[in-house]
Amino acid sequence: MNSADMTAPGITGPTILRTEGLTRVYPSGEEQVTALRPLTHIFPVGLTAVVGPSGSGKSTLLNLLAGFDTPSGGRVLAGDTDLSHLSEAQRADFRLAHYGFVFQNHNLVSILTAQENVEFPLTLAGVSPRERRNRAYALLAEVGLERRAGHLPHQLSGGEAQRVALARALVNNPSIVLADEPTGNLDSHTGERVLDLLTAPAAQGRTTILITHDRDVAARANHVLHVRDGLVSAEG
């Protein structure tokens, strides 16, 4: 994916994702619940694992980094772009140009084949059918699923579907990959294979942020962030 294809601003500079005093507070009746305490952090290139127990604020952080949610305070900067200054449509364009997502459940579009699912971000971007077919097929081959290209999601195993989702996340050649418990529903062998694939692009100059509660998964990361009660602390 070429950022020139998009109306979204490009990312410049070596530091591609950082937060400045980022907080998120949710109203709960009369009270306010702090889901994320002020976080100022630079997410370096490579694999960053965000670990913590359920309800600690991991997903809140991911939502804010992705621009799904708007912060109560502070800001998220991708390169020089402040996500909170973008409109909903601009944020969508920005994600399409610079982000890739892997969810805990593969979240493939059920009516599209594996190949079409991988192509989808390129289809959204208006890439020509031939080019998107070639790029999607190459990525499917990379995750070892070229023979399953014509299968629908319900015809794939959980591990296969997650590898297709990973191929979809990488097809637009994103600068940032956000993965939310991508191995959570997989057996250890398949989980390992997905992690191998996730770490490979990280080595190619991407910023990959992986949310997990599995310390073994976190052990493979270049950097680890701990989240507890909305407070983020760095390690290693």
Which residues of the chain form contacts with another protein (CB under 8 A)? 59, 62-63, 66, 68-69, 88-89, 92-97, 99, 101, 103, 107, 109-112, 120-121, 123-126, 168, 180
CB of 148 to another protein, least distance (A): 19
Nearer residue to another protein within complex by CB, 14 or 87: 87
CB of 90 to another protein, least distance (A): 9
Pairing mode, strands 73-78 and 46-51 = unpaired
Pairing mode, strands 99-102 and 46-51 = unpaired
Nearer residue to another protein within complex by CB, 24 or 223: 24
Q: CA-CA distance, 74 to 97, in Å (whole number)?
A: 24
CB of 95 to another protein, least distance (A): 4
CB of 6 to another protein, least distance (A): 9
Give 149's DSSP letter. T
Task: Please return the burial class of 135, using the count of CB atoms within 10 Å of its CB with bins 0-12, 13-18 and 19+.
Answer: buried
Nearer residue to another protein within complex by CB, 113 or 223: 113
CB of 188 to another protein, least distance (A): 25
DSSP assignment of 88-117 equals HHHHHHHHHHHEEEE-SS----TTS-HHHH
Nearer residue to another protein within complex by CB, 39 or 97: 97
Q: CA-CA distance, 149 to 112, in Å (whole number)?
A: 10
Nearer residue to another protein within complex by CB, 6 or 223: 6
Nearer residue to another protein within complex by CB, 87 or 204: 87
Q: Which of 217, 224, 228 shows the shortest CA–CA distance to 193?
A: 217
Q: Which two tokens stand for residue 224?
A: 């680890």
CB of 126 to another protein, least distance (A): 6
**CB 90: neighbour CB atoms within 10 A?**
17
